[in-house]
Amino acid sequence: MSESSPAIRITDLRKVYGNKAAVDGLSLSVPRGSFYGFLGPNGAGKTTTIKMLMGLAVPNSGTIEMLGYSLPRGEMEIKSRIGLVPDETLLFEHLSGSEFLEFVGRMYRLDRAVARERARELMSLFELDGAARKLIGEYSKGMRKRVAMAASMIHKPELFLMDEPFEGVDAVGARMMKDLLLDQVHHGATVFLTSHVLEVVERLCERVAIIHQGKLVVEGSMSDLRSGAETLEDIFVRVVGADRHTETLDWL
């Protein structure tokens, strides 16, 4: 393992479902210690890519390396070093928030007392301590996102994989979560996230990649990608071809 290697290196990655390539020859290199945005329209292949990084989907071809280890050979080492916030929060609804966090900590082989203390601290940090004994099945969507992000942090990962982490979270909660992630990056972690809220990505991310129909269409730093006073939304619309004239309805 080399500490100078990228946090994520994807080479010629391809995933086919039936006759359709959800991801088609994707290559990316994500620097360590960066906040990296992975963007694309609906159905572009973002979630499929995240699932392959998480080990939840097996690519048809291509290679994945994370933190200097390759999948699938280094899967266990990789999983011990990453924090996951999937799009569909895979939480145990019949556990309380505190119980779930403690369970996740134990899965990462934290001592029971350490896992319990970190669970308590994270519930407080994410302003969930008032719902510590409440079952997750009774949580709102925003609360579920908060506890999912808390769970991703309990073992101090080096790399975060996040699929729409702010979806359904109110403005105060989203601001708190963004500040926490920025602090993690400041201390050397890497954040790789997808989001449809381009204003958030523009404020947070140093580099972005945009995919369309499973293929990479643009990648680089925000300053390199901008043309004049373009916003990230302008760039996104330009590169995915969504700036074509849209007909209007006479009656609307």
- Which stretches does DSSP call E strand in 97-214? 159-163, 190-194, 207-212
pTM of the model: 0.90
pLDDT at 78 over 60: yes
Tokens describing residue 27 = 């290559």
- Reported as a single tens digit per residue, the pLDDT across 85-116 is 887 667 899 999 999 999 999 999 999 999 99
Mean pLDDT, the chain, rounded, equals: 90
Among 86, 73, 18, residue whose Cα is nearest residue 46 = 86
1 and 69 in contact (C-beta within 8 Å)?
A: yes
Beta strands in the chain (DSSP E): 8-17, 20-30, 35-39, 61-66, 69-70, 82-85, 159-163, 190-194, 207-212, 215-221
Residue 12 reports pLDDT greater than 70:
yes
Distance, in Å, from the CA atom of 162 to the CA atom of 195, rounded to the nearest integer, reads 9
Tens of pLDDT, residue by residue over 127-148, are 998 888 899 999 998 899 999 9
Amino acid at 45: G
- Residues 214-244 pLDDT 10s: 999 999 998 888 777 788 888 888 888 765 5
Beta-carbon neighbour count of residue 141 at 10 Å? 11
